[in-house]
Amino acid sequence: LENYSDVQRFIEDATDGDFASRILHTGCGNSVMPEQMYDHGYQHIVNIDTSTVVIEQMAARNKDRPELKWLVMDATSMDL
């Protein structure tokens, strides 16, 4: 899976097409998927990864997408 279009149908089914849905993207890495989802209308996305470097890079790259959240966190011991 490389793009939002690869999973768009599944996301829309899971959210009933509700763009206000809150989405957790674990192990986000430097994926463009949250950016594509945001631009499509899903703007409440929390992205987590264990890499501080990746999270800092992604936060900087998406500074114009303020609702995207970027957190250094391990999915096996989340604080959410």
Angle at 15 between CA 12 and CA 21, to 5 degrees: 120
Longest dimension (CA), the chain: 34
**Residue 45, SS3 per DSSP:** strand
- Give the rounded percent of residues in the chain with a pLDDT score beyond 70: 98
What phi and psi values does residue 17 have, to the nearest 5 degrees?
A: 70, 15
Q: How confident is the model at residue 14 (pLDDT cuts 50, 70, 90)?
A: very high
The stretch 23-43 carries a mean pLDDT of 95
For residues 35 and 18, give the distance between their C-alpha atoms in angstroms, rounded to a whole number.
17
